[in-house]
A and B are shown apart, each in its own frame.
Chain A
């Protein structure tokens, strides 16, 4: 039986020579957390099932730094490594694969050019292409009809989810749940689903969102955004069919260690790799 996965996410700012891991709050404020490959190695040794690097550098002149970070990481980390941020062509993807990445995660480029998903799937296989979706709740009034949108009931009211691109700076009008199903058809291997409402708030994953997307697609879904304590991971595993949970800050600041989190989940009956 397949285990649920715990994915350790490192947001990287590559504007300094070796890059640095940072953590934003609600897609905005930034705090530093450490050297990318050293943190990745630490999490690997502690039992992270996968590592994700997201390049959050605003400019696109830092590619060389990313290559170095991937290379150094893949020499010492023997679990899957996913790279996201700023990948907009097959050529960009080739660079990170050649440096040692196993998967790429695409967001903005996939929405602007959905064909990129099929291209990546063709060259590198479905499994190498993760489509990242940043979803923001758009509440609706009772009388309001959003006929072309998938409406989800949440404890805070009914809403649809809008896709955001450029790291949360631009909204697209695209229905995030519908987009997930399209990405699947085009050849995405996994959906990395981030709730913009929950990200950085540390009060739990968006259960309604994760549940709905899992119902709509057959490929694995990775829950992201909102993890503040191990119980949040337990909750999203128990209440939705997500295959993996992504967490960043709860590990960065040593509030909780990966073994501690995994043991708790295992005790609560979640199948996990210990």
Chain B
């Protein structure tokens, strides 16, 4: 199975491609929008929303075309956040607006960035990402949270209060945590995405 991993120069792709290879899939790193094809598409990403938005912009029409052809899309961490409309982090830059809502700085008295293993509370039990997955701990590393304005939150976690850990809307999937860095549980979630 060929998995397109979009390289839009937002940090490290290696962890994602390593995990995909480990699971027996064939990751293909895509740097040019015209080359974007695969059985599934993954948008990884660490870094800032503004630069991510600029760098991902050239891919947006291709991503929309793929979604119309029923190709599943997974955004990881910043990759999820970029699916929303805008972010407090860079108010002038727009997201892909695949999901209605904003990305906001996490409001808490607890430590930020929110780094480490936190509980995954599955809200949409029928979400294919979490098929057969027992609740457990996954690895988060972020300071901003997605605040969707539609009913797409598939899982949450708690850092002072409940924050979005995963979204699901038709063929659009997103994880705020890093499944590729979340041990066995993370690999199971990634495998579920590959098996869609």
Contacts and interface: CB of A to CB of B under 8 A. Distances in A.
Interface of A: 1-5, 44, 47, 49, 74-76, 78-80, 97-102, 122-128, 189-190, 218-220, 241, 243-244, 273
B112 A219 contact: yes
- Complex A-B, nearest 5 residue pairs according to Cβ-Cβ distance, in ascending order: A100-B14, A273-B137, A125-B47, A127-B141, A273-B117
Interface string B68-87: 00000000001000000000
A99 B14 contact: yes
B19 interface: yes
B171 interface: no
B193 to A, nearest CB: 15
Interface in B151-196: 158-159, 178, 180-184, 186-187
Contacts, number: 105
A49 B183 CA distance: 9
A125 B19 CA distance: 21
Contacts of B142: 127
A128 B11 contact: yes
Given A4-B116, A78-B18, A127-B115, 19 more contacts: A1-B118, A3-B137, A5-B116, A74-B14, A74-B15, A75-B18, A78-B180, A78-B181, A98-B14, A99-B14, A101-B12, A124-B11, A126-B113, A127-B141, A190-B115, A218-B111, A219-B112, A243-B111, A243-B116
A97 B119 contact: no
A125 B11 contact: yes
A3 B14 contact: no
B8 interface: no
B114 interface: yes
A78 B14 contact: no
A2 B113 contact: no
A68 B187 CA distance: 23
A36 B126 CA distance: 41
13 contacts: A2-B116, A3-B116, A3-B117, A4-B116, A5-B116, A49-B117, A97-B12, A102-B12, A123-B47, A127-B142, A128-B12, A220-B116, A243-B115
Given A78-B181, A78-B182, A220 B113 contact: yes
A220 B111 contact: yes
Contacts of B183: 44, 47, 78-79
B98 to A, nearest CB: 22
A126 B22 CA distance: 28
A189 B113 CA distance: 7
A102 B178 CA distance: 11
A218 B46 contact: no
A76 B14 CA distance: 12
Interface string B55-97: 0000000000000000000000010000000000000000000
B7 to A, nearest CB: 11
Contacts of B159: 1-2
Contacts of A78: 18-19, 22, 180-184, 186-187
B140 to A, nearest CB: 8
Contacts of B46: 124-125, 127-128
Interface string B12-46: 10110011011000000000000000000000001
A80 B158 contact: no
Interface centre among B12, B142, B158, B159 (most CB of A within 10 A): B12
Given A74-B15, A100-B14, A124 B47 contact: yes
B139 interface: yes
Contacts of A100: 12, 14-15, 18
Nearest to A4: B116
A217 to B, nearest CB: 9
B54 interface: no
Contacts of B184: 78
Contacts of B48: 122, 125
Contacts of B117: 2-3, 5, 49, 273
A101 B11 CA distance: 10
B115 A220 contact: yes
A244 B139 CA distance: 13
